[in-house]
Amino acid sequence: KAGVTQTPRYLIKTRGQQVTLSCSPISGHRSVSWYQQTPGQGLQFLFEYFSETQRNKGNFPGRFSGRQFSNSRSEMNVSTLELGDSALYLCASSMSASGNTIYFGEGSWLTVV
């Protein structure tokens, strides 16, 4: 059974550009969530989607957005990139019942120069 797949794994962008990251959850999982990991702030929750609806949102500016498609695949977008957006972006999926195991992908490493 394939795990959570994130693409691309590594990317470099310039300040002011926008970026889209993709996540394919484990087959059968309907909940997808996104986290940002940085050395200074640690792991921070961005947002969670279930059945194409955003169910929960973290404390990030509106430049960070996401969506989920009918096949549960998800994308997150960051517009007008800033240097501080450089981070590892992790996608996670689960069966979407409280207490269920949440499985993480390998992450997308974003460097903003």
Partner 1 sequence: AQSVTQLGSHVSVSEGALVLLRCNYSSSVPPYLFWYVQYPNQGLQLLLKYTTGATLVKGINGFEAEFKKSETSFHLTKPSAHMSDAAEYFCAVSDQGGSEKLVFGKGTKLTVNP
Catalog residues that contact partner 1 under the rule CB under 8 A.
Answer: 4, 31, 33, 35, 42-45, 48, 50, 55-56, 58, 90, 92, 94, 96-107
Residue in the structure block whose two tokens are 């019942």: 97
CB of 80 to partner 1, least distance (A): 25
Dihedral of alpha carbons 73, 68, 35, 112, sign: positive
Residue in the structure block whose two tokens are 């009918």: 70
d(CA 70, CA 109): 26
Q: In the complex with partner 1, which residue's Cβ is closer, 45 or 75?
A: 45
Q: In the complex with partner 1, which residue's Cβ is closer, 11 or 103?
A: 103
CB of 43 to partner 1, least distance (A): 4
Q: In the complex with partner 1, which residue's Cβ is closer, 21 or 90?
A: 90
Q: In the complex with partner 1, which residue's Cβ is closer, 82 or 106?
A: 106
CB of 55 to partner 1, least distance (A): 6
Task: Report residue 19 CA to chain centroid gap.
Answer: 12
Q: How is residue 18 written in tokens?
A: 């926008």
Residue in the structure block whose two tokens are 């990317």: 11
d(CA 3, CA 58): 24
CB of 16 to partner 1, least distance (A): 28
